[in-house]
Amino acid sequence: MISINNVTRFYGSKRALRDISFTVEKGETLGILGPNGSGKTTLINILLGLLRADEGSVTIYGKEIWSNREALLPKIGAIIEIPRLYPFLSGRENLKIFAEYLAVEESPKKIEEVLGLVGLEDVGKLPFKNYSLGMKQRLGIALSLLNDPDILVFDEPTNGLDPEGILTVRETIKKLSGMGKTIILCSHLIYEVEQVCQSVVILQNGDLKKSISSKELENRDHLFHLEVSESGYESCVRFCESNVSIEIIHTDSKLHTFRLKIDSNVSGSEILKNIVESKISVEAFYKDQVPLEELFMEAVKS
């Protein structure tokens, strides 16, 4: 659906992006993760047709964005950090202005729909200047939804928010993902990306350091740590090797521990039950998920 192909961008002699390539599938929520200055916002601006790549291209539905902006941009909704709206107008009045600009059909109905979607239906009459940061961010999301776009692009949507605001914006993004929207979330906050994204690309100093597919992220949910008694170690090795639902990633005969990958169609509790029923004494058994933070640090240090 979205293809970033060997994108390079300079500001004068300074290189902001170098040879960036990845794809975003329809209905996917992808996180662009990186420290400040890594090139995230530059990439977003190229994706939105606000900047032109010096080399490479961005295609959406098979069409190059820069030369097809008029046709493609109505399919995209975006907010770049905190939205700048008319401070003395209410949230509802701000949306009305943009709905008229976008020629939104049945705009009063659509305005109420998007306010309800982001949980602002009860404060739609409040002047924008009186909104909290979290409310402003949610109104920005409502604005991005006015023309019912297929693609949503959020650049640092939780920046500067308090914990309650972060949680509310996170849940809103999850709700939109559940509606089948294709979402690109740009952030330097690892935990937020991990909470909502199905795949991740990591940028540093304009380079693509790592691309983590949805399958790789999903596989982390099926890793387990198992520790058994010394007398049960060999029996546990045989049990795991004979079970087609289990893959031994690592084992330590001195500590009597295993790192196991279990098929997604089998629960960890079921495997534990089978091990215990095999008369193997279990000392510990728990999920051993690799944190995204660890994957991020490995990428940026490489």
Q: What is the pLDDT of residue 221?
A: 64
- Report the phi/psi class of residue 92: left, alpha or beta, with left for phi > 0 and alpha for psi in -120 to 50: alpha
Q: What is the CATH number of domain 218-292?
A: 3.30.70.100
**Bigger pLDDT: 223 or 114?**
114
| Per-residue pLDDT tens digits for 261-279 | 898 788 889 999 999 999 9
Burial of 239 (0-12, 13-18, 19+ CB in 10 A): middle
Gap between the Cα atoms of 172 and 151, Å rounded: 15
Provide φ and ψ at 256, rounded to 5°: 60, 40
User: Band of the pLDDT at 288, cuts 50, 70, 90?
Assistant: confident
Find, among 157, 177, 179, 178, the residue nearest to 168 by Cα.
Answer: 157
**Residue limits of CATH 3.40.50.300 in the chain:** 2-212
pLDDT at 225 over 80: yes
Helices in 73-207 by DSSP H: which ranges?
91-101, 107-117, 133-144, 163-178, 190-196
Confidence (pLDDT) at 252: 94
Q: To which H or E segment does residue 29 belong?
A: strand 29-33
Write out the DSSP string of 48-83: TTSS--SEEEEEETTEETGGGHHHHGGGEEEEESS-
Q: Check residue 282 and give its pLDDT.
A: 95
Map tokens 């019912």 to a residue: 148
Spatial contact of 165 and 196, defined as CB atoms under 8 Å apart = no
Residue 9 banded pLDDT, cuts 50, 70, 90:
very high
DSSP code of residue 104: -
pLDDT per residue over 227-257, tens digit each?
Answer: 999 999 999 999 999 999 999 989 999 999 9
Q: What is the mean pLDDT of residues 285-293?
A: 79
Q: Does residue 47 surpass a pLDDT of 90?
A: yes
Contacts of 14 (CB under 8 A, 6+ apart): none
Sequence-distant (≥ 6) Cβ neighbours of residue 96 within 8 angstroms: 107, 111
Nearest alpha carbon to residue 169 among 198, 199, 193, 203: 193
Environment class of 101 (CB within 10 Å of its CB; exposed 0-12, middle 13-18, buried 19+):
exposed
CATH of domain 2-212: 3.40.50.300
Stretch(es) of the chain classified as CATH 3.30.70.100: 218-292
Q: 219 falls in which pLDDT band (50, 70, 90)?
A: low
Mean pLDDT of 100-119: 91
